[in-house]
Structure 1
Amino acid sequence: MKRILTAALLGSLLQATPAKACDVCGCGVSYYNPYLFPHLSKNYTSLSYFHRVYRTQNGEGGRSREDYNSLLLTLQYSVRKRFQVLALVPWQFNTLRNDAGSRSLSGLGDLSLLGQYRVWERVSDKGVRQVVLAGAGVKLATGRYVPAATSKTEDQNFQLGTGSTDLLFNGSYRISLRNWTFSAAGSYKYNTENEDGYRYGDVVNTSVQATFRKEYRKWSLSPYVQLSQEWQLQDADRHVLQAASGGPVSYVAGGVEVNTRRFAFGANYQAAAAQNLAGGLIRVEPRVALRTSITF
């Protein structure tokens, strides 16, 4: 299932985690989710691991399980004080198990390039800091896409890439007071049609998050909780809408970040509180993300 990333944006762009939210049909291929990576004020590079599982029931009564294990390399560089650019490079290890047996896919996924601009920032006399960010980017068709051999949902989803170049838009608001940070964020992913005539449905994400930061002498601990909502529009095959696609998912998540002066480590757990993907044919299981980063 293709496009997931969700966790904690301790800075401004609040995370999300690998995860990216799943846009059926495409629950595992695309890795954009503006909530998954902490928006650090400095330049940084990070390596994240995502584990996601989806269970699919096709119209013929068959069942399948899709496991998506992803490594995501992220690089952020500040071009100017208010503007950063980000590059996200995923590598995937996917497994599909169904009544006919099992098969695996591994390789480069779809690379994403993003630009983030600090639109507004204010610090009051009482130490309340507020920040508004806006960003846009593009997801490139670098992952391998093979036209599905059948019309089954699992075959269309089980890809390394979507085969299309897509547009990404996001924005976030953050307010901080002493040890507390509260964030709200949203994103929109506009998908285009690939060369095979298939168009994965657009994806809308919203999220709110509360973070508490505890400072120690040489490091800090930041647990957080997050609520998010994802809406996926229906896919289209040569302009014909696909019934077994699209739908909403509500997520409840929690995690923790450990930061030193240069290094950061994080873990995130996310579960679906309510879901109706592909008319109930696809079910998302709880997912886990791990991350480590270094500033430079």
Structure 2
Amino acid sequence: MACDICGCGGSNIYMGLLPNFKNKFIGVRYRYSEFHTTLAGDPTQFSHNYYNTFELWSGWNIGKRWQVLAFVPYYSNRQMDDDGSSSKNGLGDITLLVNYQLLHSRKSTASANTIEQILWIGGGIKLPTGSFKLDLRDSNTTVADINAQIGTGSTDFLVNLMHDLRINMFGINTSVTYKINTANSSGYRYGNKLMANVIGYYRLRFAGIAVSPNAGVIFENTEANHYADAKVQYTGGHVLSAVAGVEVSYDRIAIGFNVQHALAQDYAGGQTKMQFRGMAHISFAF
């Protein structure tokens, strides 16, 4: 009998630090996450879930105050459990965001410090381009099957805020994104999701190369899923993670990576644990 609650699905959202760009950028991100599940009442039932995301992302500044961002993910997910192994691959749900620059100020203090801050607010839409193929009326369908889907099958909406405060070479980046999910054609609705991060960074320059080591915390909260207006057991949860990484840019090219380690978490009543998350990217400004 396979583990019924394994994994943590629902099209994860992640903003992170955006590359510095004046007009446009395009790039590729790779994200990896790993979850392990062991049933409390029967430790012989377990699963290890590995989520690989290859994402094309791009941004355009329109005038001085408008910004458009696009995220096109491709998923390669693998599940190993007490009943064997399985995998799913395919195009995920595409997300489009539009942001408005509410504030951009720069001033120098009497002590020769330069203080600059930028505040963006915006919203967007997640399109059901990924595959969701399940017969939810089948009594054998489990939460594990639902979490393994490439897409949610629903059109969802996002609101977000991004704030960057920089004093000379030191900066603090704060971003908050909230995703409001709707029910798909099968009547299944993934739980709304909140992700917030606060990341400090320090910008160094060496012969035209900018290096920015960074560290901070990320909080993610996922509400319970619902099917036919009823709450689905063992869904939803939260995790607080420490994150550390580095961003490097030269001319129009930027590369970076980070790793995340869970400090506190609660998924499926403690039966599911996030083991690791990481991200790497390369982008080109033009």
TM over 0.5: yes
Which residue, out of 64, 72, 85, partners 2:47?
64
| CA-to-aligned-CA distance 1:213-265 (integer Å, 9 cap, x gap) | 00112211100001121111111011110120111210100000110110011
Residues 31, 80 of structure 1: alpha-carbon distance in 2 compared, 3 angstrom cutoff? farther
Residue type at the aligned position of 1:266: G
In the alignment, is residue 198 of structure 1 matched against residue 183 of structure 2? no
Separation in structure 2 between the aligned mates of residue 25 and residue 190 of structure 1, nearest angstrom: 23
Residue type at the aligned position of 1:146: K
2:120 aligned residue: 133
Residues 38, 207 of structure 1: alpha-carbon distance in 2 compared, 3 angstrom cutoff? same
Q: Give identity over the alignment, percent.
A: 32
SS at structure 2 position matched to 1:285: strand
Q: Is the 8 A contact 1:25 1:245 kept in 2?
A: no
Runs of 4+ aligned residues of structure 1 deviating over 4 Å after TM superposition are none
Q: Is the 8 A contact 1:68 1:95 kept in 2?
A: yes
Instruction: Give the C-alpha shift of residue 201 in structure 1.
Output: 0.4
Instruction: Give the C-alpha shift of residue 28 in structure 1.
Output: 4.1
2:23 aligned residue: 42
In our comparison, the structure showing a higher alpha carbon Rg is: 2
Instruction: Give the C-alpha shift of residue 153 in structure 1.
Output: 2.5
Residues 103, 190 of structure 1: alpha-carbon distance in 2 compared, 3 angstrom cutoff? same
Instruction: Give the C-alpha shift of residue 156 in structure 1.
Output: 1.3
1:103 aligned residue: 86
TM-score, L = length of structure 2: 0.90
Instruction: Give the C-alpha shift of residue 164 in structure 1.
Output: 0.5
1:174 aligned residue: 164
1:121 aligned residue: 104
Separation in structure 2 between the aligned mates of residue 135 and residue 154 of structure 1, nearest angstrom: 33
1:269 aligned residue: 259
Q: Is the 8 A contact 1:134 1:172 kept in 2?
A: yes
* Pairing 1:223-234 to 2, within 5 Å after superposition: 223-234=213-224
Instruction: Give the C-alpha shift of residue 36 in structure 1.
Output: 5.3
Separation in structure 2 between the aligned mates of residue 142 and residue 58 of structure 1, nearest angstrom: 33
Residue type at the aligned position of 1:100: D
Q: Is the 8 A contact 1:32 1:112 kept in 2?
A: no
* Pairing 1:1-296 to 2, within 5 Å after superposition: 27-35=8-16, 37-38=18-19, 40-58=21-39, 61=42, 62-126=45-109, 127-147=114-134, 150-296=140-286
Structure 1: segments with no counterpart, 5+ residues: 1-23
Residues 157, 91 of structure 1: alpha-carbon distance in 2 compared, 3 angstrom cutoff? same
Q: Is the 8 A contact 1:25 1:156 kept in 2?
A: no
Aligned length: 273
Separation in structure 1 between the aligned mates of residue 203 and residue 17 of structure 2, nearest angstrom: 18
Residues 287, 237 of structure 1: alpha-carbon distance in 2 compared, 3 angstrom cutoff? same
Residues 36, 286 of structure 1: alpha-carbon distance in 2 compared, 3 angstrom cutoff? farther
| CA-to-aligned-CA distance 1:92-141 (integer Å, 9 cap, x gap) | 11111111111111110000001111111111133200111101000000
Separation in structure 1 between the aligned mates of residue 16 and residue 6 of structure 2, nearest angstrom: 21
Residues 32, 266 of structure 1: alpha-carbon distance in 2 compared, 3 angstrom cutoff? same
1:16 aligned residue: none
| CA-to-aligned-CA distance 1:20-45 (integer Å, 9 cap, x gap) | xxxx9983452422225446443100
> Which stretch shows the higher mean deviation, 203-212 or 143-152?
143-152
Residue type at the aligned position of 1:174: D
TM-score, L = length of structure 1: 0.87
Separation in structure 1 between the aligned mates of residue 41 and residue 85 of structure 2, nearest angstrom: 18
Instruction: Give the C-alpha shift of residue 172 in structure 1.
Output: 2.0
Residues 72, 227 of structure 1: alpha-carbon distance in 2 compared, 3 angstrom cutoff? same
SS at structure 2 position matched to 1:155: helix
Q: Is the 8 A contact 1:221 1:259 kept in 2?
A: yes
Q: Is the 8 A contact 1:25 1:201 kept in 2?
A: no
Computed over aligned residues only, the root mean square deviation of the Cα atoms, in angstroms, reads 1.9
Structure 2: segments with no counterpart, 5+ residues: none
| CA-to-aligned-CA distance 1:124-177 (integer Å, 9 cap, x gap) | 133200111101000000000012563432211001100111001110222111
